[in-house]
Structure 1
Amino acid sequence: MNTFGRLFSCTTFGESHGPALGVVVDGCPPGIPLTEDLIQPYMERRRPGRDSTMSPRAEPDHVEILSGVFEGRTTGMPIAILIPSVAQRSGDYDSLRSVFRPGHADYTYHLKYGHRDHRGGGRSSGRETAARVAAGAVAFQCLFNQGISIRSRILEIHGNSNPDQFEEEILVAKERGDSVGGIIELFAEGCPTGLGDPVFGKLDAAIAGAMMGIGSIKGVEIGEGFAAARMSGSEHNDPMQKSGFATNHAGGILGGISNGDPIVIRCAVKPTPSISLPQQTINSEGEEVEISIRGRHDPCIVPRVLVVAECMLALVLIDAVLMQKRFTGF
């Protein structure tokens, strides 16, 4: 499953330490403004090496549009985008060729495929998300035409909800060779009513699947989410008025279909599994060993996940918009 979406689809390719990553976007309507300069700001938000709280791997992540665009506008044909990698240090992973890193996909990839790229996790690396962001940037250009906007914020880092202390939490973890996670929140505003389909095509199910498809995300809430389990029906139901809903506990989705209110999503982001503290694991021979992971890693991936989550949400929403247009015939 390297392809995401139904009418607006993207197929990503590439590994962490390969020569490049990339994506082919199919189903993008013609006439949408699109240039490398419109995509690059999204790549910059995800790019590592920007400050001391991030991995020092200094990838520029400059994109190159290879097809599907002419004179600054999409043609309706497949859009191919290439993202060269220039700052690999594969030698950092030589000692991990036959060792499974705790918290990573090394063990499961080994069992499933029998042959894996140990250099930074290969396809399972967070670097793969660069291709998703490039695709999401295209989706954003389409959503702008529909009056739909997406924004996000960090709610917590390591259980701390004070934004002034987020950087300190990350740097303390980095200093001790450890890592921390957090919680992010996303808002999609301007969504029309009617996006999503009943039963197996629910919009909230599509959003949850897209978020959980990001390697570092371990939990998703829509609207009140888990808090709804501690509320009564009279508290959770959103009263309806002539002017709209009085509250938004549902998070903008009822019965799997958007209701016109802002769509509200929260995601739990796990601590980065690559840490320099000693850890117990096994190797491919089943022997118990202790490892301490070297290399360039994020002590906290939360700040860089924001744009990835936004772009995955954009991909879900533009696909839903196109499905609705096909359904209604307008």
Structure 2
Amino acid sequence: MRHFLLCVAALATLASPVAATAQPANPDGFPTRPLRMLVPVPAGGPSDFIARQVAHQLGTSLGQVVTVENKPGANGLVAAREALAAPADGHTLLYAPGSMIAMPLLVKGSGMDWSQDFAPLGKIGRVPFALAVYSGVQARTVAELVKQAGQQPGTLNVATSTPSEVLAAAQFMKAAGIQLTRVPYKGGTQALPDLLAGRVQLMFGPLSLLQPQTKSGALRVLAVVTPERSPALPDVPTMSEVGFAEVEVPTWQGLYTVAKVPAALRARLAAALDAVMAKPDMRAEFERRLLAVERASPRELTATITRELAVWSAVVDEFKLNAD
């Protein structure tokens, strides 16, 4: 009998680690299946990189795979509409650049109200911007670019693929008193080949996308659209330093569910997201890619959106902007 009891105890000891590891990572029952993260930009760019890093870490935290689905088009409207059409059960997430909150203002008749349709889970990063020109452009400074554009109105093409880029180009044209021809693209990775080939001559876009091309001389970065100079290009001035402080664009990134998702599920997702963004290895990986971790709670991000929507509304009216 004593031998039998010892055997039972031994088996229980051996079984206990298995039982522990078999416990689900989601003891509260959510999520119950893999999640989708809709990303409104093509694969390969800095925003796509942020989304994939977050999706991987978030999946580990939640105990379910988070699959990234790239849905570019209509300045984010394609991804946003698909998110709204999905069941409001917390299993569909929308990754969105900060400028995407202006999309309903830029796309007339979209039938969408960002602050009413979507609920923020938190801010997850920032994509510093820069102004770059094709190597064949004579201008080597922003002042020289303004002079050249002034002498040749409408002959210089500027690539735009997000509302932030549309805004930056409009602000620059107004502040400099010049006329550029805007050429729209679905994403920065689609615009870059045309910029490298000289089919478009300049672009306001992610520093992480543009800076590597400066090493070969294919592009020249004339200024960064950031409060301070970039450690990656310490000799390149900010737009403020060269006299164009008006050129200021929202380049933060956020993660959302539709507003109809129950508050308890949103809180679970927001807590998991914040834990992911607090990891030192995430910060290090972002910085290595010339990106920045920028955290904010749902409440803080809601306040930011309310404030920036008012700014965007005034800007869209002033510059007569549209997404086309």
- TM-score tier after normalising by the smaller chain length: under 0.3
Normalised by the length of structure 2, the TM-score is: 0.24
Larger radius of gyration: 2
